[in-house]
Amino acid sequence: MAKYRVALEVDERAGLERLVSAGKAACRKLTYARVLLLVDAAHGRGNCDDEIVTALGTSLNTIARVRKRFVTEG
Q: What is the pLDDT of residues 17-62, one digit of tens each?
A: 999 998 888 889 999 999 999 888 656 655 688 888 888 899 999 9
**Sequence ranges of the domains in the chain:** 10-73
Cα 22 from Cα 45, distance rounded (Å) = 22
pTM attached to this predicted model: 0.85
pLDDT value for 52? 86
How is residue 28 annotated by DSSP?
Answer: H
How many other β-carbons are positioned within 10 Å of the β-carbon of residue 8? 20
